[in-house]
Amino acid sequence: MKQTMSTSLALPPILDITAAGPLASEFLRVRGKDVSVDASKVERVGAQCIQVLLSAVATWTLDGMEFDLANPSAALVDSFDTVGLEPATFIARNA
Query: What pLDDT score was predicted for residue 29?
Result: 97
Q: Helix (H, G, I), strand (E, B), or coil: what is residue 95?
A: coil
| CATH number attached to the domain at 7-92 | 3.30.750.24
In tens digits, what is the pLDDT along the chain, a chain of 95 residues?
Answer: 455 568 999 999 999 999 999 999 999 999 999 999 999 999 999 999 999 999 999 999 999 999 999 999 999 999 999 999 988 888 888 74
Burial of 64 (0-12, 13-18, 19+ CB in 10 A): exposed
Query: What pLDDT score was predicted for residue 91?
Result: 86
pTM (2 decimals)?
0.90
Query: What pLDDT score was predicted for residue 1?
Result: 43
Query: What pLDDT score was predicted for residue 88?
Result: 87
Query: What pLDDT score was predicted for residue 4?
Result: 57
Query: What pLDDT score was predicted for residue 95?
Result: 47
State the sign of the Cα–Cα–Cα–Cα dihedral 63, 64, 69, 70: negative
Pairing of strands 44-45, 14-15: parallel
CA 33 to the chain's CA centroid: 13
